[in-house]
Homo-oligomer: A and B are copies of this chain.
Amino acid sequence: MNQNLTKRIRNAGLLEKVMSADDAVAFIEPGMTLGVSGFTIAGYPKVTAAALSRRADTGEKLDLTVYSGASLGDEFDGELTRKGVFKKRIPYQTNNDLRNAINAGKVGYFDMALGELPVWIKNGILNHIDVAVIEAAAIDEDGNIIPTTSIGVSNTYVEYADKVIVELNTYVPEEIEGIHDVFSPQKAPNTEPIMIIKPSDRIGTPYIKCDPSKIVAIVESDVPDNGRAVAAPDDEFKQMAKNLISFLENEVKAGRLCNPLPPLQAGIGSVTNAVLDGLQTSNFEHMTVYSEVLQNSIFELMDSGKIDFACATSLTLSSDVRDEFFKNFSRYKDKIMLRPQEISNAPEVIRRLGIIAINTVIEADIYGNTNSTYIDGHRLMNGVGGSGDYCQNAGLAIFITKSTAKNGTLSSIVPLVSHIDHTIHEIHVLITEQGAADLRGLDPIDRARTIIDNCAHPDFRPALHAYLEEAIECCPNKHKPVNLKAAAAFKKQTNK
């Protein structure tokens, strides 16, 4: 047996559970529900997915319901979609093939706030977890599991599953042990307070508690996370970052924000990565992060001494920086922490810390409703993800989008969004490359004018103002006037 593998299995009794992935997936029966590790393409099972794919190749209909933390890599979500393995996926995805299968009505999908999922698992709201499949860096003397680059819902899946398959990943350095802080509140009525008052507070264990008798298989992997490349910031991204910084600076000056800033949260993706990147040029110091994902830009801000500490539930690095990151891991180890998503996305902590939440949307309307999931109201992109947990409870809920889409031919600011994920009650500030609109305390018509003048692209401002003035004129109610027909016509009129 591979020595690098065996030394990571510190419970001698578990060595006999080491087997091939093909043998391990024999514990997974058709129709079962799996709870798998993985969050934003970090720390998900890879060789187990490949073994399931091979089973599907034999013609077996697996029909699996798979719950995860969030999005998984193409080796899982893409591959198993292409092989027709999924009956249903919960709670979030970003894979092109999976997205297409969902939109075709071939794979079921339930899109939900990520922080709520562990609570539902504990209370039996969703299916019983037959098998948990968890990527690990090691197993300790007592059978407890040291996770890799994410925690997500893994601790809860391990607790509630009948059986556990551990995918031991030797690519991830053993030194990762110690960055995890696993605290799992009991279910109501015995739920305890989450005693975090700053991002670096340690309240749990550095491992996922696991009864070793539950572990039915341990399979070896050395496959790194398939983190996608992050787009280099273009001029519009850079301008969005500048607008964010100048808004935050102004808030500090006005005494509405403390300095050092409250912890930052930023959603996954190139846009938020680029905007965080822009903070390099700001004067903010001693920043901290309380988020669901740590991306490239966070570590660059650590390197430059801007960020003191960052916690999240996943560590999502693009492939081009990953090896270098792990080579220099000791530089970051005492500045980062991974938590279960029940904690990283906990309303309690988000409200308490007064978090600055920065999330992207597809489109926003003039009143401040935002759409982050469905193009044209019916074509699913990803899912609401953690933005629900954060924006509803943040001290400052900021949504960002470019003012136009499709090479400037479509306005991202519209009279009425085609689908709503976050209502007017959950947005504080909208930022585009054009500027920032602070909506707090404003009446609907003032919100509309502020959004049009500060955030819409100048090419579309006349049409948006015309829509608004007509709605004010025609609608019998003048507080939040709407004109459904004109709103529907807006897209056509403004398509260049």
A-to-B contact residues, CB < 8 Å: 88, 90, 102-105, 108-113, 119-120, 123-127, 185, 187-189, 191-195, 197-198, 254-258, 260, 262, 346-348, 350-354, 369, 374, 377-380, 384, 388, 392-393, 395, 418-426, 440-443, 445, 475-482, 484, 488
Contact = CB atoms under 8 A, between A and B. Distances in A.
A441 B350 CA distance: 25
Nearest to A124: B256
- Give the top 6 A-B pairs by smallest Cβ distance, nearest first: A188-B354, A105-B478, A348-B348, A347-B347, A103-B477, A378-B477
Contacts of A380: 477, 479-480
Contact of A110 (B112, B262, B442, B482): B442
A338 to B, nearest CB: 21
A389 B476 CA distance: 30
Contacts of A442: 110
A388 B195 CA distance: 24
A125 B441 contact: yes
Contacts of A351: 119, 191, 346-348
B195 A193 contact: yes
Contacts of A421: 423, 425
A197 B188 contact: no
A1 B377 CA distance: 67
B422 A110 contact: no
Contacts of A126: 440-441
Contact of A377 (B90, B255, B392, B482): B482
A476 B442 CA distance: 38
Contacts of A104: 477-478
Nearest to A191: B352
Contacts of A477: 103-104, 378-380
Contact of A187 (B354, B384, B481, B484): B354
Given A255-B124, A481-B378, A192 B187 contact: no
A30 to B, nearest CB: 20
A188 B395 contact: yes
A193 B222 CA distance: 42
Contacts of A255: 124
A479 B378 CA distance: 8
Given A347-B348, A423-B423, A443-B109, A395 B119 contact: yes
A254 to B, nearest CB: 7
B347 A189 contact: no
A440 B120 contact: yes
A352 B343 CA distance: 12
Nearest to A439: B110
A487 to B, nearest CB: 10
28 contacts: A109-B443, A113-B425, A119-B351, A119-B395, A120-B440, A120-B441, A123-B395, A125-B440, A126-B440, A188-B262, A188-B352, A189-B198, A189-B262, A191-B197, A191-B351, A191-B353, A191-B354, A192-B197, A192-B352, A193-B348, A346-B351, A347-B351, A348-B348, A378-B480, A380-B480, A392-B393, A421-B425, A423-B423
